[in-house]
């Protein structure tokens, strides 16, 4: 089905009903699980209402984007727009913002964010190459090992892992062999 132009950068120009259902279900389930982890691991900490709202929306965006970026519609939209792929990678500072809002170790957030962005740039540069998917799995696997080793709360490790998958694998990799005309 055709997507409204305002949603093209999120869902692409076309999206199947099944994909939309999958994105919605993954977002709801993933958000509930992350927020439950947050509740139990940060129950004694208190933040301003705007920190919860802004941080919650950013976390939901990470979770939703993880699913949406795997879909054919989103993959095709960005496969045809090389410049937009670079912009997408550049604007993803979500992990740092969440760390600041919820007082997670900033230096660790910067390390993971740097790893994700550098890996995504390497993979994006290999967009039309056969080795891209294989290298992506290696980079994501290394990233997951690094994230598990963080001295952070499990809810933040979960968000960091989803951010890694969203940007480095779901987004930066051409999953449907759509050759970029740009």
Closest CA to 109 of 59, 145, 138, 152: 152
pTM: 0.92
* Complete DSSP assignment for 15-73: --HHHHHHHHHHHHHHHHHHHHHHHHHSTT----HHHHHHHHHHHHHHHHHHHHTTSHH
Mean pLDDT of successive 10-residue stretches along the chain, which has 182 residues: 80 88 97 95 84 96 95 88 91 96 95 98 92 96 97 95 96 78 47
The predicted pLDDT at position 180 comes to 53
């Amino acid at each position: 089905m055709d997507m409204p132009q305002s949603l093209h950068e999120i869902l692409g120009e076309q999206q199947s009903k099944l994909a939309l259902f999958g994105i919605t279900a993954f977002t709801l389930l993933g958000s509930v699980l992350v927020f439950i982890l947050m509740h139990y691991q940060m129950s004694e900490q208190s933040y301003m209402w705007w920190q919860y709202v802004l941080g919650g929306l950013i976390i939901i965006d990470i979770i939703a984007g993880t699913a949406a970026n795997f879909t054919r519609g989103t993959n095709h939209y960005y496969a045809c727009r090389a410049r937009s792929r670079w912009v997408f990678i550049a604007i993803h500072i979500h992990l740092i913002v969440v760390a600041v809002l919820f007082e997670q170790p900033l230096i660790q957030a910067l390390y993971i964010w740097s790893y994700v962005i550098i890996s995504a740039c390497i993979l994006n540069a290999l967009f039309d190459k056969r080795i891209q998917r294989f290298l992506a799995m290696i980079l994501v696997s290394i990233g997951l090992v690094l994230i598990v080793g963080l001295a952070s709360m499990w809810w933040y490790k979960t968000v960091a892992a989803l951010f890694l998958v969203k940007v480095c694998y779901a987004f930066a990799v051409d999953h449907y062999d759509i050759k970029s005309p740009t």
